Amino acid sequence: MTKLLQTLVDSIAVGSLYGLIALGYTMVYGILQFINFAHSDVFMVGAWLSFLVAVRIGGQTATVEPSVAKALLVLLTAMVCCGALGFTIERLAYRPLRQAPRLNVLITAIGVSLFIENLGQLKWLFGAMPQPMPRLLPDRPLFALAGVNVNLLDVIVVGTAAVLMLLLNWIVFGTKLGRGMRAVSYSPPTAALMGVPVSRIISFTFVIGSCAAAAAGFLYATKYITLQQPAHETWIRLGLKAFVAAVVGGIGNIRGAMLGGLLIGLIEFFGAAYLSPNLRDVYVFAVLILVLLFRPAGILGRATVEKV
Amino acid sequence: MTSANARWVAPRPAAAGTTWLYSLLPLLAAIALAAALHFGLQPAIGPFRTNVLMNIGINVILAVSLNIVNGFTGQFSIGHAGFMAVGGYTAAAITYYTSFRVWGDALMHGGVLSGVPANGWLTAGDALFVGSCLAGGLLAAVAGYLVGLPSLRLRGDYLAIVTLGFGEIVRVLLQQSDSDIPYLAADVQRMSVWQMARHLGGALGFSGVPFYTTPFWVWLFAAVTLLVAFRVKRSSYGRAFLSIREDETAAEAMGVALTRFKVRAFVLAAFFAGIAGGLFAHEIGTALNPRELGFMKSFDIVIMVVLGGMGSISGAALAAAILTILPEVLRSPPHVWPLGLVAIVFVLMVRRKAGRRAALTLAAVTVALEAVRAAALWQGVNLADYRMVLYALSLVVMMIVRPKGLFGVREIWDYRPLGRRRAATVAVG
């Protein structure tokens, strides 16, 4: 019972982060119909920037005093920088290819992804060996539920992720910009005829998706401070799992991304806890393949028929 | 299809009884090439460059085989390293454990062609090595079938993700294999086949595999891969692949069974990737471990195919060769201006007026490269560190400027520097 609850807490915390990243994938897919491979790199850059800024303003790992103001500063810096990064990527790499075949855009996305991760590993940028993350957010057992400690940090992570998701949900479904996004995803030419500034909407989508990914990067780095991976591959793999979440939930569907994120978190952590901890990636990708086989549109997605 | 490909459709008039000779000729040429590289080039270049030579061959196999899926058929697989891993581990396990069963050790039992002249020409060891490579290829092909059959109904980007997922699953499963590889004959004798298949070295990698791979074997397999790729491209299969790539709906309307042909492309590519894995596993100086065969390796191969040209066999092979040599060259970059000068003079000589613009471009490129070299030397920067950044950037730029890759669907010899450009070997695109 304890194990079950503990796994549940962990999986919800990580699952909500997957959901946050998946939102970026799903929004871009909804509008441009292509997988933004570089999104997991934006997530990674978000985490790297958090390391960098946190060490700069927070000092060494051992001596740092938890401080909400500093954490907020780090979070905002990461979000703003990654927002700018997302904007730049779209502007320089994807916009020239707006009319190109989808395969070309996919290859470009992979190119951008490789570019960012290899550039970031150079010595004068983030280097191949980032420092461990200083613990900027307070962490203590908050309350015990049936013998399971629910930590403050978990609550903060889930809370921040939930707030950001609600914010995104409101942007998409409650604002004029969001209406523009939905219009473009329905049909870009029609939206353009109706006076929607398509290019600006697309840029905006990239910016908010990247901000969400940066926030997820910060939260993940704060939750797992020892995950000081020099290897970018770990971060990329996390981003890929978030993509799986988007597909499982139904790509192009905002609420599907949130649902998929939680679902992937649950599958990964319960598989790790009850089957074999070493095969967590296998469960996630196996679920992906199964979903694509039996319900390619995802849980909340609509099946589309290709017309000639 | 226009009439430009008539050259390839017309059957070659051959005297009855000698046709088999024609189909055998390229194979003999392949053996001759492999032997020439092995006996002619290898002694002249020393062990380090021999390794580079073998790596080029392995990468040529990988790039040319992936080209069948990504280039010809227009599908997008980014899990090629997964097939390579399946083939490599299968071949390694077969060689290693069979060696123990037969000879009581896992030492070299090859002949001249495997680099042990004392053992004579062709030995049982050679046969074991070639057999295990082929077995690795076959198992990889089975994996290709299993992955391909269900997932090829999916559209481009979904397929990409599934192949990526497959590669990752293979990697993680190999990582979980038992890291305890027996090195005593008595231990191996006691193991069942199932236990052997479980003991693959885990995260540490499969060590102790005898080094059978030599330039001869690598380039023999590479030549066969090239040969098969060319034959396929010019056959009805190849035309079906290309038609799928150009327009799935139209291809289906013309009677091409989409899923069946996609799966065939997949299986063929996986087979050769498996063989490349087998060669890689038996090569000296390479580590057969799951980390080396992750999605980064897949991306490496994708870069070769995309830069060389989606559908161009010679382009993919050339890109594989260049991208394999480049890191070695970048470590201590040589001057480029002599080469640039020769190229400029050549262009000006053969193209006269029209060559002026090309010559200017070449001059600019040469100057830029020289500037980069000087800056790198001045700052003490190792350009090899920037290799991946460079590749990634060129991938993006290529997609924006020249989306079909350097050679597109054409082959290198379709370009005539002296005259007008000839139509593509296969007139698509």
Q: Which residue of A has its CA nearest to B395?
A: A111
Residue B208 sits at the chain A interface (C-beta within 8 Å)? no
Of the partner residues B156, B158, B249, the one whose CB lies closest to the CB of residue A308:
B249
Q: How many other C-beta atoms are found inside a 10 Å radius of the C-beta of residue B378?
A: 8
- B352, two tokens: 């006269």
Mean pLDDT to the nearest integer, B51-56? 92
Mean pLDDT over the full length of chain A: 84
Q: Identify the H or E element spanning B407.
A: none
For helices B258-281 and B80-103, the axis angle rounded to 10 degrees is 50
pLDDT in tens, B137-179: 999 999 999 888 766 667 667 788 888 888 988 998 998 888 8
pLDDT of residue B416: 58
The C-alpha atoms of residue B404 and residue A215 are separated, in whole angstroms, by 37
pLDDT of residue B386: 82
A102 CA: distance to closest CA in chain B (Å)? 8
Question: How does pLDDT run across B307-366, given as a tens digit for each residue?
Answer: 888 888 999 999 999 889 888 888 777 888 888 888 888 777 776 666 777 788 888 888
Quick one: tokens of A194? 């109706």
Among A163-172, B44-53, B96-105, B268-277, the range with the most confident prediction by mean pLDDT is B268-277
Confidence bin at B219 (pLDDT 50/70/90): very high
pLDDT confidence of residue B2 = 42
Is B169 in contact with A96 (Cβ distance < 8 A)?
A: no
The gap from C-alpha B152 to its chain's centroid, in whole angstroms, comes to 22
Confidence band for B240, pLDDT divided at 50, 70 and 90? very high
Give the per-residue pLDDT at B7: 45
DSSP per residue over B114-165, as a string?
GT-GGG-SS-HHHHHHHHHHHHHHHHHHHHHHHHHHHHTTS-HHHHHHHHHH
Q: Are A69 and A141 in contact (CB under 8 A)?
A: no
- Phi and psi at B134, nearest 5°, equal -65, -40
Q: Quick one: average pLDDT of B194-215?
A: 86
pLDDT at site B10: 46
Residue A144, beta-bridge partner list: A149
Q: What is the CA radius of gyration of chain A?
A: 19
* B312 and B54 Cβ atoms separated by less than 8 Å: no
What does the domain layout of chain B look like in residue ranges?
25-328, 337-414
CB of A248 within 8 Å of a chain B CB? The answer is no
CB contact under 8 A, B392 and A118: yes
B296 near A CB under 8 A: yes
Residue B372 pLDDT exceeds 80: yes
Q: Decide: residue A250, CB within 10 A, 0-12 exposed, 13-18 middle, 19+ buried.
A: buried
Most confident of A6-15, B184-193, B220-229, B396-405: B220-229
Domain limits of chain A? Answer: 24-232
DSSP state of B409: T
pLDDT in tens, chain A (308 residues): 778 888 888 889 899 999 999 999 998 888 888 888 899 999 999 988 888 888 787 666 656 677 778 888 889 999 999 999 999 999 998 988 888 877 788 888 888 998 988 888 777 777 766 667 777 777 777 777 767 777 888 888 899 999 999 999 899 899 999 999 999 988 888 999 999 999 999 999 999 999 999 999 999 888 887 665 555 778 888 888 898 999 888 888 888 888 999 999 999 999 888 888 888 888 998 888 888 878 877 888 766 655 55
Residue A279, H or E segment: none
* Residue in B157, B168, B388 closest to A34 by CB: B157
**Amino acid letter, residue B282:** H
| CA dist B260 → B15, B127, B165, B168, B268 (Å) | 35, 33, 22, 25, 12
Distance between CA A298 and CA A287 in Å, rounded? 11
CA distance B361 to B395: 20
Give the bridge partners for A141, in sequence order: A151
What pLDDT is stored for residue A230 in this prediction?
56
Residue with tokens 């598989």: A271
Please give the residue that has the higher pLDDT: either B237 or B105: B237
pLDDT > 70: what percent of chain B? 89
Residue B303 has pLDDT above 90, yes or no: no
Q: Does A106 sit within 8 Å of B156, measured CB to CB? A: yes
Nearest partner of B412 among B345, B344, B269, B313, judged by Cα: B313
- Predicted TM-score of the model (pTM): 0.86
**B423 contacts: CB under 8 Å, gap ≥ 6:** B2, B4, B5, B414
The minimum CA-CA distance between A117 and chain B, rounded to whole Å, is 8
Least confident of B102-111, B260-269, B413-422: B413-422
CA count, 13 A, side-chain hemisphere, A259: 14
Topology of domain B25-328, CATH: ABC transporter involved in vitamin B12 uptake, BtuC (1.10.3470)
Task: Look at B98 and B333; give whichever has higher pLDDT.
Answer: B98
Rounded CA-CA distance B299/B297 in Å is 5
Q: Which residues 6+ apart lie within 8 Å of B219 measured at CB?
A: B30, B33, B34, B37, B38, B57
pLDDT digits (tens, 9 = 90+) for A290-306: 888 788 778 887 666 55
Instruction: Identify the sign of the CA torsion B138, B143, B149, B151.
Output: negative
Predicted pLDDT of residue B8: 47
Backbone torsions φ then ψ of B269, nearest 5 degrees: -65, -40
Average pLDDT, chain B: 83
Listed in sequence order, the DSSP H helices in B152-235 are 156-175, 185-190, 193-198, 215-233
Beta carbons of A212 and A23 less than 8 angstroms apart: yes
**Within an 8 Å CB–CB cutoff, is residue B9 touching chain A?**
no
Q: Torsion angle, CA of B30/B33/B34/B37, rounded to 10 degrees?
A: -170
Nearest CB to A292; choose among B158, B393, B396: B158
A239: CB partners within 8 A, 6+ apart: A21, A39, A40, A41, A43, A44, A213
State the nearest Cα–Cα gap between B399 and chain A, in angstroms.
6
Q: How far is CA B205 from CA A58, B107, B178, in A?
A: 40, 18, 10
What pLDDT does residue B200 have?
A: 87
What is the least distance, in Å, from the CA of B146 to any CA of chain A? 12
Q: Which of A112, A279, A285 to probe the B interface (max B CBs under 10 A)?
A: A285
pLDDT of residue B6 exceeding 60: no
* Residue among A88, A91, A103, A126 with most chain B CBs within 10 A, to mutate: A103
Residues 6+ apart with CB under 8 A from B372: B383
Distance in angstroms (rounded) separating the CA atoms of residues B383 and B364? 20
User: A192 CB contacts (<8 Å, ≥6 apart)?
Assistant: A198
Report the pLDDT value the prediction gives residue B278, as an integer from 0 to 100: 95
